[in-house]
Amino acid sequence: MKYVFLAVIFFTCFSIYSQTFREVKIYVPPVEGSGRTEADNSFFFRQIAYEVISRQNTLVRVRNTSDFILNGKILSVNEILSSEELSNLYSNLLVSGSIMEYIFLLELFNTTSNEIIGRQSIIYNSTDESAAELVSIMVFNMLSVIPEIEVENNWYNNRLYIELKALWAPRIYTSEYQSIHWFNFGIGITAEYHFSDFLSLDTGVQFTQDWVVISAAAGNEERDLILEVPLALKLVIKPVNFAAISPYAGIFYNYSVMNKTRPSDFSAFAGLEVSLRAGPGMITINPRFSFDLSISTIPGRIEYTRYMMQIGIGYKIGFFPKNN
């Protein structure tokens, strides 16, 4: 049990610190304006794109899929002097007698609001190594003001989930003689369909054991393997980006595989599933309580009722993302 606890802590920490944020998506359009040659535009475009990628951001091809836009523009001195707005903007760069001829302007836009977040410019006469170094500094300064983007709370956002789980399922049998079977284990596989953001239907199959002690006499007992087919309605609550809590209730059908006992046809159950994001899916911890809706029997011997506890630990993977 100690190792299970440590594993849960590990995957919880992994989820919090490794999967809460994502890379920023940057769109870099072709550089506007005219320099000495068309090669100037290509030079600045390549430098911007290289710096974006080298700083662990995602370079996207379409503006609408981006978070931010890095827009480059080449301006000549004549353009600046002929525009009052540009002259005021670059008054600190226009020094009398300067031999500079071109200014490279880089602006950072928020794609959603189209707001300018940052603006920097450099004077250049040729696209050489020093110009490349200055562009590197500009892009670094621009990207440093971008906040980390937290992943939206949609990690648990598929239509269908398949889960494989191991079960610890102690049971209490009540008749003239009451017995408890603590060391009862099983396995299960479930399919969960999310028909809304907050509700899902869960079904599947699982195998558990029955070990009914009829009396205190040695050997006066019966063992069986029970196939259970549950159907549950779940409420899905996602309070944070790495965990979900799902209270649920339902019924399951019982079938005796070995035909040693005749369990109640149906049992009712309720429980609480905790899902912790880990890798491509999630670890689940699932305690529940159930009881028979009718009498179970060992034909020709005794009648009894069952009260069943269960703790399942499994791994769940989703398929078919919901359309946002």
CA distance 21 to 15: 10
Residues 154-171: b if buried by 16+ CB within 10 A, e if exposed: ebbebeebebebebbbeb
Q: What is the pLDDT of residue 169?
A: 95
SS in 3 state form for 223-264? EEEEEEEEEEEEECEEEECCEEEEEEEEEEEEEECCCCCECC
Handedness of CA 228, 231, 232, 238 (dihedral sign): positive
* Pairing of the two strands 281-292 and 266-278: antiparallel
Are 226 and 306 contacting, i.e. CB atoms less than 8 angstroms apart?
no
Q: What is the pLDDT of residue 125?
A: 82
Structural domains in the chain, CATH included, are 21-150 (3.40.50.10070), 158-321 (2.40.128.100)
CA distance 313 to 310: 10
pTM of the shown model: 0.56
Q: What is the pLDDT of residue 197?
A: 84
Label residue 297 exposed, middle or buried (CB < 10 Å: 0-12, 13-18, 19+). Answer: middle
The residue count for the chain? 324
CA distance 312 to 275: 12
Task: Give how far Cα 231 sits from Cα of 156, 202, 259, 283, Å.
Answer: 20, 6, 23, 21
Q: What is the pLDDT of residue 150?
A: 66
Amino acid sitting at position 38? E
pLDDT in tens, the chain (324 residues): 444 434 444 444 444 434 456 788 999 999 998 888 889 999 999 999 999 998 888 899 889 889 999 999 998 777 776 666 666 666 555 554 444 578 898 999 999 888 988 888 888 888 888 889 999 999 999 888 887 776 555 678 899 999 999 999 999 999 888 889 999 999 999 999 999 889 999 999 999 999 988 876 656 788 999 999 999 999 999 888 789 999 999 999 999 999 999 999 999 999 999 999 998 899 999 999 999 999 999 988 899 999 999 999 999 999 998 764
The pair of structure tokens assigned to 316 is 């769940």
- Token pair 């911007």 is at which residue? 48
The Cβ-side half-sphere exposure at 207, using a 13 Å CA radius, reads 5
Q: What is the pLDDT of residue 20?
A: 53
Are 292 and 279 contacting, i.e. CB atoms less than 8 angstroms apart?
no
> In this structure, how many other beta carbons lie within 10 angstroms of the beta carbon of residue 139?
26
* Pairing of the two strands 185-194 and 158-168: antiparallel
